[in-house]
Amino acid sequence: MGLTRDFFITLSQNQALNSAAKRWGLKLGAQSVVAGTNIEEMIASVKKLNAQGISATVDNLGEFVYEREEALKAKEEILAVIQAIHDHQVDAHISLKPTQLGLDISYNFCLENLREIIEKANQYGIFVNFDTEDYGHLQPTFDLIDELSADYNNIGTVIQAYFYHSMENIKKYKDFRLRIVKGAYKEPEHLAYQDKKDIDENYIKLIEYHLLNGKFTSIATHDHHIINHVKQFVKQHNIPKDKFEFQMLYGFRKDLQLQLVKEGFHFCTYVPFGNDWFGYFMRRLAERPQNLSLIAKQIFNK
Ligand code: FDA
């Protein structure tokens, strides 16, 4: 399992494969977990989710960008997504990754790209979530949030439970709308828990802390054990349903997504779309090698 995870995470960061895959269209089964390659397809998927009582957080796929032109293109695409969310009046907000907007090129360049995006989203009352990436980009991401949140309040971020120091971060961002996740990257032992049991324990602690704090909490997991625990916890502590939501990725555990909606919980699906799908898809395979069956199904259905 460890070796399989490392293998897919290494592939997810392979620059040559990531670039090549942009020209392939959606392949290898990625079409099951990526909602199309353009805005029209994404909006159609969001409308379907909305019709089922599910809101969406839309990710115009892209990460680890090293060329200014590519980062500027990503910014324009995200501005177009914001416009489309507004024009179609769908129930959706934005998820983005700072490395897609040039964090590795220059901090200030990324800051200005983000400012433009947040400004436009703010005009339309659309929330923008900063996804958290690998450890090397974590502090700069928080620095960007600190600067931008001085001017805007439509920003939130993600806390990754595998880091030993995540409780400090959740305390620092206690007034923010936060998504809490287990963590998707490969991090060394001196920074992050490696065992599922330790990660799960810390994950629950973080969720409970933020829920009790009264700020909006997005519990982003496919893990039914965690979801069941949260259901009990919110009941015991009388935490109103409008103070939290469950989130899952597009294409995963659709029955459970709908079941939670049926039980009256707020639910938000993470909707990735675009050509830059390879890294995202490889991380999904790293998390759960059973996801390889998605590939098999796609191949045999052809
Ligand atoms: P995990 O993979 O630990 O699975 C636990 C158990 O749940 C499994 O053993 C199985 O029993 C069950 N299970 C899981 N998937 C299943 C499936 N498909 N079918 C049936 N059973 C299943 N990461 C990050 O570092 N930064 C970020 O910004 C984000 N953002 C983000 C948004 C959203 C909406 C989600 C759902 C996830 C993220 N992540 C993330 C990814 C996250 O950190 C994590 O890697 C994955 O969600 C996988 O962990 P899980 O909590 O889903 O359970």
Q: What is the pLDDT of residues 135-154, one digit of tens each?
A: 999 999 999 999 999 999 99
Rg (C-alpha) for the chain, rounded Å, is: 18
Indicate the pTM of the whole model: 0.93
How many angstroms does the Cα of residue 253 sit away from the middle of ligand 1? 11
Provide the pLDDT for residue 290.
65
How many angstroms does the Cα of residue 275 sit away from the middle of ligand 1? 22
Quick check: CB of 252 below 6 Å from ligand 1?
yes
User: Mind telling me the catalytic residues?
Assistant: 131, 179
Residue 119 predicted with pLDDT over 60: yes
Give the closest residue (by CA) to ligand 1 atom 30: 131
CB 294 within 8 A of CB 272: no
CA angle 121, 145, 210 (to 5 degrees): 95
Task: Give residue 292's pLDDT band: very low, low, confident or very high (50, 70, 90).
Answer: low
* pLDDT per position as a tens digit, 233-277: 999 999 999 999 999 999 999 999 999 999 999 999 999 999 888
Quick check: CB of 184 below 6 Å from ligand 1?
yes
Instruction: Provide the ipTM.
Output: 0.98
Residue-by-residue DSSP string for 244-268: EEEEEETTS-HHHHHHHHHTT--EE
Provide the pLDDT for residue 302.
42
Provide the pLDDT for residue 245.
98
- Candidate from 2-6, 161-165, 169-173, 204-208 with smallest mean pLDDT: 2-6
- Pick the atom of ligand 1 nearest to 223's CA: 7
**Mean pLDDT value across residues 121-148:** 97
Give the closest residue (by CA) to ligand 1 atom 4: 223
Quick check: CB of 223 below 6 Å from ligand 1?
yes
Residue 168 predicted with pLDDT over 50: yes
Mean pLDDT, the chain, as a whole number? Answer: 92
Task: Give residue 284's pLDDT band: very low, low, confident or very high (50, 70, 90).
Answer: confident
Residue 88 predicted with pLDDT over 60: yes
CB 5 within 8 A of CB 186: yes
**Mean pLDDT value across residues 215-230:** 97
How many angstroms does the Cα of residue 158 sit away from the middle of ligand 1? 13
Q: Where are the chain's structural domains?
A: 1-34+281-302, 39-276
The domain defined by 39-276 carries CATH number 3.40.1210.10: no
Quick check: CB of 231 below 6 Å from ligand 1?
no
**Mean pLDDT value across residues 123-140:** 97
Quick check: CB of 59 below 6 Å from ligand 1?
no
Quick check: CB of 180 below 6 Å from ligand 1?
no
- Candidate from 15-24, 110-119, 183-192, 264-273 with smallest mean pLDDT: 15-24
Residue 1 predicted with pLDDT over 70: no
CA angle 94, 97, 100 (to 5 degrees): 115
- Pick the atom of ligand 1 nearest to 131's CA: 28
Q: CA 266 to CA 150: how far, in whole Å?
A: 29
How close are the terminal C-alpha atoms of the chain, in Å? 29
